[in-house]
């Protein structure tokens, strides 16, 4: 038995050696194959660059959102509120989730008075999976299947690293990151089943460039970027999947969450108004853009700057000197 076992092991070793022997011609042809693939990729890259330049001057036509059911989180104020108004104005049925019941109901009272019965407010803690599931069930029964999902709700505390409490850091991650994961968990299978849907994740310029005095927030927005990129790859791998995705990177927005901002060039790097950001988000969704920064220059700068040496990037950050200061001590 021992001899048989040794023989088998020897034969197995010989087979492995033969199996891994590569003929010189195989390497040659594989080299040609790699070269052809790189050449094809290079030509595709030139085509896509030309396409991007063309689309910059001649954007795609806006898709109609009439009769779409648009779920927006964080509709009690700021960007979410503006999004709710603009989608209702465009003819969509708007479902708004917010933790603040009073603010949310006031938003939809205005919408329904102005545009007819197009709005449906729901009170929901988007950091809680069970609350999301329960609210999603109500929406399905009372309104219908959501076709456009915009995970907009978010929170921000501006602190130096050592001044954050564990609860503040957890709240930022739960609201900004887990919200998106839970919403995808609940709504993505429905959209796949219906072969129709669009998911929009709201990241931030701090998801492109980390900034001081907002470490957990910047971390959360990098996570949103990663989630949306991973989701896009999941969809791309399944040719039958018709769900669309968009990720947005807005610059600092005047929603009240940032108490003190700074910028060396105030006229060029001023805070954005929620209405303008909402307009950019809707345009990106309705033209099915996969990635958009607001203003658009930030994504371009990020793509170019990332190939530079790290020290050069640091000098550019110092030159712009744009970001936030820690919140006043009395707001802690």
**Catalytic positions, written as ranges:** 217
- DSSP letters spanning 3-29: HHHHHHHHHHHHHHHHHH---HHHHHH
Strands (DSSP E) along 138-265, which ranges? 148-151, 198-202, 244-250, 261-262
The Cβ-side half-sphere exposure at 77, using a 13 Å CA radius, reads 12
Q: What is the rounded distance in angstroms from the CA atom of residue 103 to the CA atom of residue 81?
A: 9
- Sheet order of strands, 119-123 included: 119-123, 93-98, 69-73, 148-151, 198-202, 244-250, 291-294
Give the length of the chain. 332
- Could you tell me the two tokens for 13? 């070793």
> How many angstroms separate the Cα of 89 from the Cα of each of 38, 86, 192, 226?
47, 5, 28, 32
Residue 183 near residue 217, CB atoms below 8 Å: no
Place of tokens 């969450």: 257
CA angle 67–69–70, rounded 5-degree value: 125
- Helix-strand-coil percent breakdown of the chain, rounded to 5? 55, 15, 30
Residue 253 near residue 28, CB atoms below 8 Å: no
């Amino acid at each position: 038995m021992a001899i048989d076992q040794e023989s088998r092991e020897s034969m197995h070793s010989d087979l492995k050696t033969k199996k891994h022997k590569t003929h010189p011609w195989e390497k040659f042809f594989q080299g040609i194959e790699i070269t052809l693939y790189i050449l094809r990729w290079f030509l595709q890259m030139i085509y896509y660059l030309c396409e991007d330049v063309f689309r910059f001057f001649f954007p795609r036509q806006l898709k109609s959102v009439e009769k779409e059911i648009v779920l927006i989180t964080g509709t009690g104020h700021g960007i979410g509120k503006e999004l709710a108004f603009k989608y209702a104005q465009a003819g969509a049925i708007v479902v708004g989730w917010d933790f603040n019941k009073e603010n949310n109901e006031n938003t939809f009272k205005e919408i329904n008075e102005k545009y007819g019965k197009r709005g449906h407010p729901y009170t929901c803690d988007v950091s809680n999976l069970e609350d999301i599931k329960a609210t999603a069930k109500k929406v399905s029964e009372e309104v219908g299947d959501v076709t456009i999902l915009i995970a907009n709700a978010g929170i921000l505390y501006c602190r130096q690293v050592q001044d954050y409490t564990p609860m503040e850091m957890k709240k930022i991650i739960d609201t900004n990151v887990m919200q998106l994961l839970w919403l995808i968990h609940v709504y993505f299978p429905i959209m796949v089943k219906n072969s129709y849907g669009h998911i929009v994740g709201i990241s931030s310029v701090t998801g492109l460039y980390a900034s001081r005095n907002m470490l957990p927030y910047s971390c959360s927005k990098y996570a949103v970027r990663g989630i949306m990129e991973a989701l896009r790859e999941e969809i791309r791998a399944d040719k039958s999947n018709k769900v669309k995705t968009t990720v947005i990177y807005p610059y600092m927005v005047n929603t009240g969450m940032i108490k003190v901002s700074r910028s060396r060039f105030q006229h060029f790097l001023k805070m954005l108004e929620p209405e303008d950001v909402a307009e950019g988000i809707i345009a990106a969704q309705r033209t099915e853009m996969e990635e958009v920064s607001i203003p658009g220059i930030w994504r371009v700068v990020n793509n170019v700057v990332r190939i530079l040496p790290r020290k050069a990037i640091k000098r550019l950050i110092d030159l712009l000197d744009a970001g936030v200061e820690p919140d006043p001590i009395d707001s802690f």
